Chains A and B, each alone.
Chain A
């Protein structure tokens, strides 16, 4: 307990340094902005800003990037409530009850519920991260290569199972990502693999090029082909204060959403959108006021908004303790850390205590900032919604282009981004998910290394994966997850759930 306080004290001293406060605020600000704007999400933004963070200290860089991620969860709800249009994928279900509340003249109350619920959830999840981090880390240190391999395997399977749409296609994209991750120089023999003799590929396919291409450029083309339809409920935000009745109804929903989001956020592939969705389903089943759903029930805003923010925080747990990304944003964080020369994993708590604890404390500070950014300044964000997309996409495009060029000062990366732009567009036309590919890409090289090491230690005996208890249980969970999804009842439940959410 004492060490926890000492660690938190260290964390707050890092988080409250002038530089880190400034960049946490900047991250929260940018996050809110892209959260409010439909058509640009945290994955595109973080990959866009990655090059900018190269000059910063690792701690500052991660604090800012994290701010963007959870900031976008706050911003997304604003658009959902005022515009009947989700600003982010994770606020899709907020639209259902939030917009109804706005039409009933309670837009202000809905916004306040979303922001305060998110703040509460963020605070709780931050404590969970702080408490579970060192605990999980000590467990993770006893992991052998075989256990790591199985853990990553489990992560990949779950991220594919939880992804939208067909599971087989999800796993296919994961495996393709693993394959892409193998491009470049083989670490152990120095042999060039799949490089076609191109020197730029000997370090592997650029991570930022994939992320920007598939989530930035492809997204622009997709948005351009859909005609824009926005009708802002401007100037009708109304009072931000909740009535006593609304408050009483929101509290249990927030509590349930927080618990659900914290758990689901840790799961690979879970993350913010799944949690928001799960919370909405739970509220509709267990709330005392479920008969009011569809007419602007405050539970339908409070629960999902708390859940998506809790998940955004708790998805840092696997990254900080095991070095395994739970979703596409965390995959980007791994990329950011590796570029900074830090290998994410269980040794990070000891080797980089200021990064670990500084990030955790800055999350709480950032959440506090976000309440202030979102509630009193709501008018400004409503104004931002009046910027048409035709003025936004050229900005996104040139920021991507300059950003990708500046990483290596090489135009090759620009063309690589174009290629992945085409591929990303193709994928979304064929309903292939990009996020599993990105996770597979990050985990691929790590899996190869652990597989090689495990097999070397076991003298080529595959049974090592079943003989070690940790590894065996990971594989068993993976098998159960796969089998469960093959059961028709569960699968149709998931499909129905996804269909209603989207």
Chain B
């Protein structure tokens, strides 16, 4: 038996969504085919997904071997952390400071970065973002820190 681990995991992921969807859908009125309630279409969609995910897992038992790939945990964590920090501090710290911190964190994800290069990159991108988003598009976004303002 050649197990396709990727497909098996993919089926599990989809199955999890289907089960969660069907469970949450218990709150919604189904109605009947003539007058469909809010729960009717979700029932069809997640029900179909349920059977599809079972099929995927069934087929996965014979279509392998295909091992799971390694994950780039470090890169993933750093990139996502950088964006989360962006979301956390943007409204308090303003765009300029936030971008500096965000770019600095994300630059750790690539080991070929050099400190001076990162500084240059920050200066360039902050200027570019100011030009595009503040000067040209004039979007509602705080530029300077507002933390001490109150």
Chain A contact residues, CB within 8 Å of chain B: 51-52, 55, 166, 168-169, 171-172, 175-176, 178-179, 182, 186, 188-189, 191, 193-194, 217, 220-221, 224-225, 388-391, 393-395, 397-402, 405-406, 409, 411, 414-415, 417-418, 421-422, 425-426, 429-432, 444, 447-448, 451-452, 455-456, 459-460, 462
Q: Which residue of A lies closest to B47 (CB)?
A: A175
Q: Which residue of B lies closest to A445 (CB)?
A: B41
- Beyond A172-B10, A217-B79, A455-B34, list 7 extra A-B contacts (CB 8 Å): A55-B137, A169-B7, A172-B53, A188-B38, A221-B75, A406-B139, A448-B41
Question: Across the interface, which residues of A come within 8 angstroms of B106, CB to CB?
Answer: 393-394, 397
SS class, residues of chain B in contact with chain A: helix
Q: Does B123 sit within 8 A of A, measured CB to CB?
A: no
Question: Across the interface, which residues of A come within 8 angstroms of B71, CB to CB?
Answer: 425, 429
Minimum distance in angstroms from B113 CB to a CB of chain A: 6
Q: Does B30 sit within 8 A of A, measured CB to CB?
A: no
Number of residues on chain B facing chain A (CB within 8 A)? 70
Chain B CB within 10 Å, residue with most, of A224, A393, A398, A452: A398
Q: How far is the CA of A221 from the CA of B106 in the complex (A)?
A: 11
Question: Across the interface, which residues of B come within 8 angstroms of A417, CB to CB?
Answer: 83
Q: How far is the CA of A457 from the CA of B76 in the complex (A)?
A: 50
Question: Across the interface, which residues of A come within 8 angstroms of B107, CB to CB?
Answer: 390, 394
Chain B contact residues, CB within 8 Å of chain A: 6-7, 9-11, 13-14, 17, 21, 24-25, 28-29, 32-42, 45-46, 48-49, 52-53, 55-56, 59, 63, 68-69, 71-72, 75-76, 79-80, 82-84, 86-88, 90-91, 95, 99, 102-103, 106-107, 109-110, 112-113, 117, 121, 125, 128-129, 133, 137, 139-141
Q: Given the known inter-chain contacts A193-B28, A421-B80, please indicate yes or no for A166 contacting B121, CB distance below 8 A.
A: no
Question: Across the interface, which residues of B come within 8 angstroms of A452, CB to CB?
Answer: 36, 40-41
Whether the pair A186, B38 counts as a contact (CB closer than 8 A) is: yes
Query: Which among A52, A221, A411, A415 is the interface contact of B72 at CB below 8 angstroms?
Result: A221
Whether the pair A169, B56 counts as a contact (CB closer than 8 A) is: yes
Q: Given the known inter-chain contacts A398-B129, A425-B76, A430-B6, please indicate yes or no for A166 contacting B56, CB distance below 8 A.
A: yes
Whether the pair B46, A179 counts as a contact (CB closer than 8 A) is: yes
Question: Across the interface, which residues of B come within 8 angstroms of A217, CB to CB?
Answer: 79-80, 83
Q: How far is the CA of A364 from the CA of B113 in the complex (A)?
A: 42
Question: Across the interface, which residues of B come within 8 angstroms of A414, CB to CB?
Answer: 83-84, 86-87, 90
Whether the pair B49, A172 counts as a contact (CB closer than 8 A) is: yes
Question: Across the interface, which residues of B come within 8 angstroms of A395, CB to CB?
Answer: 125, 128
Whether the pair A398, B102 counts as a contact (CB closer than 8 A) is: yes
Q: Which residue of A lies closest to B128 (CB)?
A: A395
Question: Across the interface, which residues of A come within 8 angstroms of B49, CB to CB?
Answer: 172, 175-176, 179
Whether the pair B34, A411 counts as a contact (CB closer than 8 A) is: no
Question: Across the interface, which residues of B come within 8 angstroms of A390, CB to CB?
Answer: 107, 110, 112-113, 117
Question: Across the interface, which residues of A come within 8 angstroms of B72, CB to CB?
Answer: 221, 224-225
Q: How far is the CA of A406 from the CA of B91 in the complex (A)?
A: 12
Q: How far is the CA of A415 from the CA of B48 in the complex (A)?
A: 29
**27 A-B residue contacts at CB 8 Å?**
A172-B14, A182-B42, A189-B37, A189-B38, A191-B38, A193-B42, A224-B75, A224-B79, A224-B109, A224-B110, A390-B112, A394-B102, A394-B106, A394-B107, A395-B128, A398-B103, A400-B83, A402-B133, A406-B133, A411-B90, A414-B87, A418-B80, A429-B68, A430-B6, A431-B7, A431-B10, A448-B41
